[in-house]
């Protein structure tokens, strides 16, 4: 049986949770120090000179200092570094990125409100006070960036234009906030500890910027050549199977089944946009990579226009959604897929078949009709190659047939209960692990159903990833 290298394996849940806790503790500690510094200075002034404690100014400056710390952490999270993905998983990193954005917006909004509680804005926003003008521009820029990120689809802003603007605006806004905080007041300049901590965090951000620039100009991506672009089967003209191979002299990727990469085509037929796609092939097919992609958007609908010989830059692999590292050896697996969410399951099943893995397996795949089942012939072949694999198809828009392996309607607890009954569940057998990938609503139903059926949350793994 294939042994994945340590570089490919993901951290177990306990170590991941501990490191995530340390990350939050360090972030909260540094942000707390930055927020407490203005209070400490004014408390010293109160004891030394009997000056009144200006609570509103202290709160306002504390909010600004804490927001700067969170902005630096944001830049670190947004660099899409491999070590952050290995520690936490890129899906979790992006969710934390969104959560911190909300906290930053709250802090930067409270910052001027408390500072100008007794003083009108017009008295201080003069061009001679350039740090205040700079801070106002940063505040406006951060709000515009957040609103566009939240309502991009509503205003019909193309993804690639939003992504480019978001990334280009992030670094000037971060630099402007850093200069504003250290220039507008002596509260932080007079405290070397906080300044050194901020400079250390800024150094990590510079490294993150270096990583992002290297990727932007292709130095951190692996050039691949298109070998074939074809429908996964003749009856699916609205999907493509993209097969890539490394350019001569380029290193091939090493990945774990279930991981994904970012693809950036270099072809006049396809926009030069970077998008994530799950690798559908198994590691044993390296150096070739295979992707099954549903043509459901402006970008994916044009992938079929790629021609053999075109160059595609590949960045990755990323992700922790794999039985390797998350499920113990020989643990039964319940794979729940919705629509094109079958692609990571295909990679896992192909790998398990190549390894002749004897563990019990059950795939529950929800699609609209039988005609939406991609790679139907290969699935039948996988059922033969994997003696302990059982496949249950759920058709949301088709009536139930006499086939016991088919269900009609939406995915529901009774179907998952039947699937779990297929897997061994005696005290001597290892407990099963579930992997869920598909539309958000389907994944929520599947996870809640499995929890209701008594499966512990630590054995339920969900691929929550969206940009």
Band of pLDDT at residue 436, cut at 50, 70 and 90:
very high
pLDDT value for 223: 87
Backbone dihedral angles phi then psi of residue 197, each to the nearest 5 degrees? -65, -45
DSSP state of 373: -
Please give the CATH number for the structural domain made up of 222-318: 2.40.30.10
Return the minimum-mean-pLDDT range out of 190-204, 266-280, 317-331: 190-204
Report the SS3 class of residue 237.
coil
Choose between 31 and 461: higher pLDDT: 461
385 or 217, which is more confident? 385
Task: Sort strands 361-367 and 460-462 into parallel, antiparallel or unpaired.
Answer: unpaired
The region of weakest confidence among 121-135, 193-207, 323-337, 370-384 is 193-207
pLDDT value for 65: 83
| Average pLDDT value for residue range 133-158 | 86
Above 60 in pLDDT, residue 214? Answer: no
DSSP code of residue 251:
P
pLDDT at 68 over 60: yes
Where does the pLDDT of residue 220 fall: very low under 50, low under 70, confident under 90, or very high at 90 and above? low
Reduce the DSSP state of residue 270 to 3 states and report it.
strand
Start-to-end Cα distance in the chain: 35
Q: For tokens 């309502």, name the residue.
A: 151
Residue 244 to residues 124, 262, 275, 276, 314: CA-CA distances in angstroms?
A: 59, 13, 15, 15, 10
Does the structure show a pLDDT above 70 at 313? Answer: yes
pLDDT digits (tens, 9 = 90+) for 86-104: 777 777 788 888 888 999 9
Task: Flag the least confident range among 135-144, 191-200, 259-268.
Answer: 191-200
Supply the pLDDT for residue 3.
Answer: 44
Q: Is the pLDDT reported for residue 368 higher than 50?
A: yes
Q: Which of 17-31, 323-337, 414-428 has the lowest mean pLDDT?
A: 17-31
Inform me whether the pLDDT recorded for 11 exceeds 60. no
Please check the confidence at residue 84 and state whether its pLDDT lies above 80: no
Q: How confident is the model at residue 458 (pLDDT cuts 50, 70, 90)?
A: confident
Confidence at residue 336, expressed as pLDDT on a 0 to 100 scale:
93
Q: Domain segments of the chain: what residues?
A: 13-216, 222-318, 327-462
pLDDT digits (tens, 9 = 90+) for 32-47: 777 777 777 666 655 5
Return the DSSP state at 337.
E
* Residues 216/168, Cβ–Cβ less than 8 Å: no
**pLDDT given at position 349:** 92
In sequence order, the 6+-apart residues with CB closer than 8 A to the CB of 323 are 257, 258, 331, 333, 348, 433, 435
pLDDT band at 6 (very low <50, low <70, confident <90, very high): very low
pLDDT at site 334: 93
**Integer Cα distance of 387 and 389 in angstroms:** 6
Which carries the bigger pLDDT value, residue 333 or residue 175? 333
Whole-number pLDDT of residue 2: 45
Is the peptide bond prior to 117 cis by the omega test (within 30 degrees of 0)?
A: no
According to the model, what pLDDT value does residue 348 have?
92
Q: How far is CA 183 from the centre of its chain?
A: 35
Whole-number pLDDT of residue 215: 53
Is the pLDDT score of 7 beyond 70?
Answer: no
Q: Of 51-55, 219-223, 346-350, 382-386, give the lowest mean pLDDT range.
A: 51-55
From the list 228, 227, 222, 229, the residue with the least C-alpha distance to 254 is 222
Name 337's Cβ contacts closer than 8 Å, sequence gap at least 6: 345, 363, 364, 365, 366, 436, 437, 438
User: Shortest CA distance to 317 belongs to which of 3, 1, 9?
Assistant: 9
With a CB cutoff of 8 Å and minimum separation 6, the contacts of 211 are 79, 80, 81, 220
222-318 and 327-462 have identical folds:
no
- The larger pLDDT score, comparing residue 257 to residue 425, is at 257
Does 1 have pLDDT greater than 50?
no
**Looking at residue 241, what is its pLDDT?**
85
Q: Nearest 10 degrees: CA dihedral of 298, 299, 302, 304?
A: -130
Contact 299/275 with Cβ under 8 angstroms?
yes
The rounded distance, in Å, linking the Cα atoms of 109 and 104 is 8
pTM of the model: 0.76
Q: 327-462, which class in CATH?
A: alpha beta
Instruction: Name which of 8-22, 85-99, 106-120, 142-156 the model is least confident about.
Output: 8-22
Sign of CA dihedral 321, 327, 330, 336: negative
């Amino acid at each position: 049986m294939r042994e994945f290298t340590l570089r490919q394996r993901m951290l177990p849940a306990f170590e991941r949770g501990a490191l995530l806790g340390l990350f939050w503790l360090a972030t909260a500690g540094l942000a707390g120090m930055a927020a407490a510094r203005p209070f400490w200075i004014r408390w010293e002034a109160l004891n030394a000179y009997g000056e009144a404690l200006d609570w509103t100014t202290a709160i306002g400056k504390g909010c600004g200092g804490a927001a700067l710390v969170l902005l630096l952490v944001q830049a670190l999270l947004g660099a899409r570094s491999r070590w952050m993905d290995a520690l936490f998983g890129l899906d979790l990193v992006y969710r934390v990125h969104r959560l911190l954005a909300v906290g930053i917006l709250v802090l930067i909004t409270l910052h001027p409100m408390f500072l100008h509680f007794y003083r009108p804005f017009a008295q201080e926003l003069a061009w001679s006070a350039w740090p205040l003008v700079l801070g106002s521009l940063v505040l406006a820029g951060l709000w515009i960036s957040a609103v566009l990120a939240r309502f991009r689809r509503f205003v019909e802003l193309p993804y690639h234009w939003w992504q480019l603007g978001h990334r280009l605006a992030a670094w000037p806004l971060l630099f402007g906030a850093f200069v504003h905080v250290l220039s507008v007041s002596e509260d932080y300049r007079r405290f070397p500890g906080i300044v050194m901590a901020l400079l250390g965090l800024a150094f990590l951000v510079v490294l993150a910027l270096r990583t992002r620039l290297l990727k932007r100009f292709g130095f951190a991506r692996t050039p691949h050549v298109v070998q074939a672009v074809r429908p996964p089967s003749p009856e699916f003209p609205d999907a493509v199977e993209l097969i890539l191979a490394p350019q001569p002299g380029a290193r091939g990727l090493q990945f774990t089944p279930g991981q994904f990469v970012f693809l950036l085509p270099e072809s006049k037929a396809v926009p030069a946009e970077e998008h994530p796609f799950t690798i559908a092939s198994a590691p044993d097919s390296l150096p070739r990579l295979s992707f099954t992609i549903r043509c459901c958007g402006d970008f994916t609908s044009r992938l079929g226009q790629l021609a053999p010989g075109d160059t595609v830059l590949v960045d990755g692999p990323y992700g922790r959604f794999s039985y390797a590292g998350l499920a113990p050896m020989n643990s039964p697996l319940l794979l729940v897929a919705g629509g094109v969410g079958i692609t990571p399951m295909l990679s896992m099943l192909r790998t398990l078949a190549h390894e002749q893995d004897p563990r019990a397996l059950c795939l529950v795949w929800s699609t609209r009709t039988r005609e939406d089942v991609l790679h139907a012939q290969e699935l039948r072949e996988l059922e033969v190659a994997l003696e302990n694999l059982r496949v249950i198809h759920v058709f949301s828009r088709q009536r139930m047939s006499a086939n016991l392996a088919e269900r009609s309607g939406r995915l529901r607890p009774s179907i998952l209960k039947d699937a779990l009954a297929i897997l061994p569940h005696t005290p001597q057998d290892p407990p099963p692990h579930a992997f869920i990938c598909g539309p958000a609503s389907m994944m929520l139903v599947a996870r809640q159903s499995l929890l209701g059926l008594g499966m512990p949350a630590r054995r339920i793994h969900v691929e929550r990833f969206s940009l």
